[in-house]
């Protein structure tokens, strides 16, 4: 999946979330909590992520786009995402301050494992690591 497709999936997820909840996601760090709550509901209903694949793709794309927009991350090129190019599984890699992230894996883990895999904590941890990596890079300049 290419970057423009990931962005499109995120936009479709925003529209879906609005239609489902009447709340508009705004790509802010705070909006991650709204997605986390949606996935928490799936966890409590014991939904298998494989059964809600489109929602996983949309939520992962949205979470990744929030990270990209707020923390300066980038999506890895489709041929450099660390996955088998023939794979049917959506799991694009992001790079944030030199670290690799896989938002789709995290979304699936959130659904399966519940609050132990909080997306809010995931975002906060990523933000902390990104800030530390940028501070180190500035010191080395």
- Residue 82 confidence (pLDDT): 47
- Residue 93 confidence (pLDDT): 94
Query: 3-140 has which CATH code?
Result: 1.20.120
Q: Is the pLDDT of residue 80 over 80?
A: no
Mean pLDDT of 1-6: 87
Residue 95 pairs in a beta bridge with: 74, 100
Where do the domains of the chain lie?
3-140
What is the band of 137 on the pLDDT scale with cuts at 50, 70, 90? confident
Pick 16 or 137 by higher pLDDT: 16
- Residue 89 confidence (pLDDT): 65
- Residue 79 confidence (pLDDT): 54
- Residue 87 confidence (pLDDT): 42
For the segment 7-44, what is each residue's pLDDT rounded down to a tens digit?
A: 999 999 999 999 999 999 999 999 999 999 999 999 99
């Amino acid at each position: 999946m290419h970057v423009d497709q990931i962005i499109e999936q995120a936009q479709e997820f925003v529209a879906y979330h609005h239609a489902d909840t009447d709340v508009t996601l705004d790509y802010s760090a705070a909006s991650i909590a709204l997605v986390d709550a949606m996935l928490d509901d799936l966890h409590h209903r014991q939904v298998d992520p494989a059964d809600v694949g489109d929602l996983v793709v949309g939520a992962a794309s949205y979470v990744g786009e929030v990270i990209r927009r707020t923390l300066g991350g980038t999506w890895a090129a489709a041929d450099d995402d660390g996955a088998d190019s023939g794979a049917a599984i959506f799991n694009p890699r992001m790079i944030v301050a030199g670290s690799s992230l896989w938002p789709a894996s995290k979304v699936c883990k959130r659904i399966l494992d519940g609050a132990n895999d909080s997306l809010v904590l995931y975002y906060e941890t990523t933000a902390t690591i990104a800030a530390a990596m940028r501070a180190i890079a500035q010191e080395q300049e």
